[in-house]
Amino acid sequence: MLTFLHIGFAFLWLGCVLTEALFERAMLAGDRASHKALANLHARVDLVVEIPAMLVVLVTGALLWMRAGDYGVAELVMIGAGAVALLANGYCVWLVFKRRSAAHAEEWDAFDRLDHLQHRVGAIVLLGLLVAIVAGALIR
């Protein structure tokens, strides 16, 4: 059951990251009003979906780690990539809220800098998640 929860929430987290990437791409093509709406939407999705999914993955992953005995290469890659994804996504969430503050203050230079950094860190999150999921699929 714990493994099922871990895998299910890892895929929910991945789906959330991919969905956010899609609406980021679509809404950043618009004007500053669209950017403000995007900043609000992304922050809400982080609070309601992404952060809870990440936390469930973190807790279930820690419990599975404590239960496991031997660690092969695939397990170590999965744990390492998952840890990178969690840390990067934690930073990315912080950037999302900073970007929202910049949008509300209409500090568009700051918004643009934060947006660029957020997308770079988001790519690390996506890569970490994908590597962790593939490594997990290779276990046994």
pLDDT mean across residues, the chain: 95
pLDDT in tens, 25-41: 999 999 999 999 999 99
Q: How confident is the model at residue 140 (pLDDT cuts 50, 70, 90)?
A: low
pLDDT in tens, 59-105: 999 999 888 778 889 999 999 999 999 999 999 999 999 999 999 99
pLDDT in tens, 1-10: 999 999 999 9
- CA distances, 69 to each of 61, 81, 83, 136 (Å): 14, 19, 19, 16
Backbone angles phi, psi at 124, to 5 degrees: -65, -40
